Structure 1
Amino acid sequence: MIVRLVKMEFKPEEIAYFLNLFDEVKEQIRAFEGCEFLELLQGEKETGIFFTHSYWKDAKALETYRNSLLFKTTWAKTKLLFNAKPEAWSVEKFVNLR
């Protein structure tokens, strides 16, 4: 399983637009083949910082999503809203604490 974390910092005036955009596409992303989990996290004090946290069946599933029209159109809209360069990490789940 691949865990994907993407840190995004938005211009304050663009946060509401981003939240609407995320709300429009979240179920499509969750339904994408290979996506097992998706959530959006917001900084507690730095409210312009958000993280997407997702689980993918494997690296191939994540790469298929990243090459999809859904990702490309959503990312094209999202990247216009940034206040800083986004950061992303793909990691393998090593230990399940449950």
Structure 2
Amino acid sequence: MLVRIVKMGYYKQNIEVFLENFENTKSQIRGFEGCQFLELYRDKKDPTIFFTYSHWESEEALENYRKSELFKRVWSKIKPLFSMRPEAWSVDKLETLE
């Protein structure tokens, strides 16, 4: 399993637009083939910073999403809203403690 973490910063005036877009597309993203989990986080100290945290079956599944029309639609709407360049990490989950 691959875990994808994406950090995004938004101008204050664009936060509601971003959140509305996430609300409208989160089920489609989560339902995309290979996506097993999706969460959205907001930084405690800086409310303009958000993180998506998702689990993917494989790197190929994530790449299929990144090449999809869904990703292109989502990205084209949120990219102009950024206040900083987004950062992304793909990591392997080593252990989960319940």
TM-score norm. by structure 2 comes to 0.97
How much has 1:96 moved relative to structure 2? Answer: 2.1
How far does the alpha carbon of each residue in 1:3-45 deviate from its partner, in whole angstroms, 9 at most, with x for none? 0000000000000000000000000001001000001000112
Alpha-carbon RMSD across the aligned residues, in angstroms, is 0.7
Aligned equivalent of 1:37? 37
User: Secondary structure at 2:16's aligned position in 1?
Assistant: helix
Aligned equivalent of 2:10? 10
CA distance in 1, matches of 2:48, 2:37: 23
User: Secondary structure at 2:50's aligned position in 1?
Assistant: strand
Aligned equivalent of 2:80? 80
Q: Does 1:69 align with 2:47?
A: no
TM-score norm. by structure 1 comes to 0.97
> Structure 2 counterpart of 1:41, which letter?
Y
Aligned length: 98
Which aligned segments of 4 or more residues in structure 1 are displaced greater than 2 angstroms? none
Structure 2 alignment gaps of length 5 or more: none
> Structure 2 counterpart of 1:37, which letter?
F
> Structure 1 counterpart of 2:30, which letter?
R
CA distance in 1, matches of 2:60, 2:93: 15
> Structure 2 counterpart of 1:81, which letter?
L
CA distance in 2, matches of 1:4, 1:84: 19
Q: Does 1:50 align with 2:50?
A: yes
How much has 1:73 moved relative to structure 2? Answer: 1.1
